[in-house]
A and B are shown apart, each in its own frame.
Chain A
Amino acid sequence: MIHVSELTKNFLDLRLGHVTALECVNFNVQPGEIFGLLGPNGAGKTTCLRILSTVLRPTSGTATITGFDVSTHPAEVRNRIGFMSGNTGIYDRMTAWEMVEYFGRLYGMAEDTLQERITSIFTTLQMYDFKDVLGSKMSTGMKKKVSIARTIVHDPPVLIFDEPTSGLDVLVARKVLETIGLLRDQGKCIMYSTHIMREVEKLCDRIAIIHKGIILATGTPKELEHQHSKPDMEELFFELIDNYERQCRDEGYKAAALA
């Protein structure tokens, strides 16, 4: 469903010069699977997901979603994904119902299927009590629910969640994770990025650990823990990052010595 190969993205930053946000990233995600992207802040998770959602263009490399390339067929890709991140807010001056309806129409859904779909989503997510509340009057939890409803309204085969639980209390976070689990059970292909280890352990079928734009390891959580003989994700994570930093330092010394 999602194929990413040799994906690279460079930025120009005045302070840092040319920054490589992603360097030759490779991974595949299958339907009915949750693929976790685990990394600290600034690791390149958001950049990677933004490229998958066609909002950013890759500097080099390719990414295809359900067979469509993100740089050559962005419209087709956007039609087949649901994307939710900390940056995809909801409109202040629209009610919950209007918001979901608006995006459903933009996805080109027929009016009767759309109304049915919204009714079913609003029932599942228990959103009827704030159906006619304006975005500006909603609590954070309500807003998250509207965002999820907006993400899945057109029933896309691929779903991408970028840190969906950040800033949520335990109750709402749990609800969000449950919903994502349900979506996997429906056979969706799901990408999930986070920096919280427990979520990964609980939810993800396979993970990639990303740091400074480079994927350090890929596999199921169990595999990775075995390979590096660590008792849990957290230890594994620190070990991988420490190794990488040490390697970088050594190479730096070598380069300095050669010079």
Chain B
Amino acid sequence: MSWNNIQLIFLREVQDQLRDRRTLFMVAVLPLLLYPALGIGMLQMTMLFREQPRTVVILGAEYLPPPQLLKENRFVFTDRLTVTTEADLDKSDRDGPDSHAVQLIDQAKVIREKLRNRDQLEADIELVMQELNDEDRTTALQTELDQIEQDLIQIFASSQIQVLIIVPERFAEHLEKAKRQLVDRKVGAQNNFDYPRPIIVKNRADDKSEVAYTQVKQAMDAWEQEILKEQLSLAHLPETLPKPVGPKSVDLAGKKQIAANLWSKLFPALLVIMAVTGAFYPAVDLVAGEKERGTMETLLICPATRSEIVMGKFFTVMLFSASTALLNLASMGATGQYMVSVAGSGAFSRIGDIAFPSPASLIWLIVLLIPLAALFSALSLALATFARSTKEGQYYLTPLLMVTMGLTVFCLSPAVEIKPFYSIIPIVGVALLLKALLLAPVPTNELYFYVVPVLVTSIGYSLLALWWAVEQFKSEEVLFREAERFELRLWIRHLLCDKKPTPSFEEAGFCFVIIMLLQFVSLKFMGQAIEHATLANASIEANELKKAIGLLLLKLLMIQQLVIIFCPALFMGATLATSFVRTFRFRMPKFSMLALAVILPLVLHPLSLEFLSQLNWFFPKLSESVVKNFETMSDVQQPMWFVLLAFALTPAICEETAFRGFILSGFSRSGRVGLAIVLSSLMFGVTHMVPQQVFNATLLGLVLALIAIRSNSLLPAIIFHFIYNSLGVLHARVSTSWVETAPINWFFYVEDDTVRYEWPTLVIAAFVAIALLRWLVRQSNAETTSSVTFVHSPKPERLAGTGAATKPPIEIA
């Protein structure tokens, strides 16, 4: 790769973009104008903004006790609400009846009536249930009650009342009586404080009602406080009596911290979004635009290689992505700060003085922006290469933006903080680390600990995306795609008629998508089935129930494997490929491969078990329901053969058919076996959903795929998979007592009721595993290992097995 060419292309592309009015507008003009314009708009809005008065209706306002709660259609304690009472009806008599007030009061009265009915009915039901024990009657009453509740919801929602207060009759009198008794100290014997209380009706689902309710509550609380104060002084009790604890809160949030809090919410999200948009438009213009303007071929015939061209363009896009993001942040920060200083006593004054983040935070921001911009630039370039025109390219922005937005919104949640697992997820790691760095007044060592994984994985993802972009650029089909009309009929005919012995790369990918979709759909059915089983078996005792549900889960697991994984792969194999035998590797393997498939899982299982337990801190904790389901399924009560069938045999056959059969064959058709192994095992991992298992399954997938490729048969992979899973089942069920005896406890020990492996076992297992894997890697693929190729191979010693390695290979000319 010549840096000279990359630099030449980079400089030309930058110059080209700077001469383009659209790019300049997007990158520079828009952020510099947008935020000040938004700021002016917001200032104007706050000047024009006046809160809409909400409607509160009080029935029985005449029964309200002193002190005064209302003063001319307003609460004494807040003036943000208009109150309508029955008194308004009399008032409006002077110039005709006030139709609005009449309507409100009528609606309120209907609601009051219904509420009374409801209370009556509830009391009736209680009575019937306890004394008559008449089920039919209870059901009838219950239906009536439901009806009334439905009516109430509907009437209140359709009325114009936001909050309705119903003061019971003679409320003031009751209160007065209670007060007198308090003065005479007669409380106790017959409790006279047990009088009907006012009711406040609201609708939590309606924002207007909820807002009005909060204000009503504030006003009523203040008012109640007054009444309480009076009662206490009458009873000669201290005012502080109702609040014996009454803690005082001290807010130690510094001004800088408040600002940091604001920036930590705004900056990561804005940085991510702006890095995407800043990368995408130049990328589309640089690749799809070049195709459209007919200069692509000019560039392809110059001596620069495809990788150099992509790199040159990549650095250009990255430059624009990073500068867009930085300019946006700078402009937004400056505008925000200016607005706060201008607003003074206005609506923004509550935010306080928002100082800019410290220089250290800003440096972190730039450091983290680089891998982020790199990732988006490479992704955008790959997508843009695929597009035939700038217009088509812009359609691809939407999915990229949606995924990015989803991840960003996830990071915005205050509950989500950076954890080891999150630090390796693309975008999420960067956004969370940045959030933490902006928030912390002094970054702790813990945060610095995350910098390395976040940067390393981000750069890794960027390189992967870049590699994809280069691949796209090297593909003739992508680069010279004709603008042909897409026709579903033609496409299906092509799929079914122009088949090859094994499926294509795209078909293998599609098989995975189908499996994931089916898995997503099945989640609902699994949940429903468990719920039904729990309900149906409610009468039996807990232990029995556990067994029944466990059995059901095991059955569901098997059905899921068969329907979701096995069937799609088999069906696609039958329809999309001509050779069933080659696609699913129906072939008797060599004996050595079968032996390997038996021994390798025996040594890999202890290693992966200990390895995963060492990595436990890294993964997020599983939710309780998931853990419970696992426990129920692998419970000791279940028959052993059934658990083995569900956990070992079915997955071994189903998953191998799909992942080492259809998907691996499809990915490896073009001859890129390494890529096929990695991709198929990643997909195998992803279908396992739970992060721990995803990790473990991906590693195992590599081994399984290598076995399948080397033996060119599915049988060793199935045997390996079966034995590996069976070991997991046995490990969970084996009794721990036998481990105590002398020679055995050198190799095993017991912790938390499970058998664990001592280091000698692990060392032996590691040695055997490495030897076996080395042998496996050095094997040649079975398809080509006929006796002829064995002899003519340029490196015969690499093909020989462990036993044959010492013998000199026979040369036949």
Contacts and interface: CB of A to CB of B under 8 A. Distances in A.
A74 B302 CA distance: 10
Interface in A83-98: 83, 85, 87-94
Contacts of B304: 106
Nearest to B20: A93
A17 B494 contact: yes
A22 to B, nearest CB: 14
Contacts of A103: 302
Nearest to B486: A14
Contact of B302 (A12, A90, A93, A107): A107
B16 A55 contact: no
A75 B303 contact: yes
A94 B294 contact: no
Given A55-B301, A79-B303, A106 B5 contact: yes
Contacts of B483: none
Nearest to B309: A106
B487 interface: yes
B792 to A, nearest CB: 22
A108 interface: yes
Contacts of A195: none
B295 A90 contact: yes
A18 B494 CA distance: 10
Nearest to A81: B301
Contacts of B15: 93-94
A87 B484 contact: no
Most chain A CB atoms below 10 A, which of B5, B303, B484, B494? B303
B297 A55 contact: yes
Nearest to A78: B303
Interface string A11-25: 011110110000000
Contact of A57 (B8, B19, B476): B476
Nearest to B296: A87
Nearest to B482: A13
B300 interface: yes
B293 A92 contact: yes
A18 B301 contact: no
Interface string B349-367: 0000000000000000000
Interface in B475-525: 476, 480, 484, 487, 490-491, 494, 497-498
Interface in B284-298: 293-298
A199 to B, nearest CB: 22
B320 to A, nearest CB: 15
Interface residues of B, number: 30
B301 A54 contact: yes
B480 A88 contact: no
B297 A14 contact: no
Contact of A106 (B294, B295, B303): B303
B293 A15 contact: no
Given A14-B487, A14-B494, A89-B294, A94 B16 contact: yes
A75 B16 CA distance: 25
A4 to B, nearest CB: 17
B621 interface: no
A150 interface: yes
B305 interface: yes
A14 B484 contact: yes
A78 B20 CA distance: 30
B693 to A, nearest CB: 39
Given A17-B494, A89-B294, A90-B295, A53 B8 contact: no
Contact of B498 (A18, A55, A93): A18
Contacts of B300: 53, 55
28 contacts: A12-B498, A14-B494, A15-B487, A15-B490, A17-B497, A18-B498, A53-B300, A54-B301, A56-B480, A74-B305, A75-B303, A78-B301, A78-B302, A79-B303, A81-B301, A85-B297, A89-B293, A89-B295, A91-B293, A93-B16, A93-B19, A94-B15, A103-B302, A105-B8, A106-B5, A106-B8, A107-B303, A108-B303
Interface of A: 12-15, 17-18, 50, 53-57, 74-75, 78-79, 81, 83, 85, 87-94, 102-103, 105-108, 150
Given A15-B487, A78-B302, A92-B293, 19 more contacts: A14-B491, A15-B484, A17-B494, A17-B497, A17-B498, A53-B300, A53-B301, A55-B300, A57-B476, A74-B305, A87-B297, A88-B295, A89-B293, A90-B298, A91-B295, A93-B16, A94-B16, A103-B302, A108-B4
The 8 closest A-B pairs by CB, nearest first: A89-B294, A88-B298, A93-B19, A87-B297, A106-B302, A83-B301, A89-B295, A78-B303
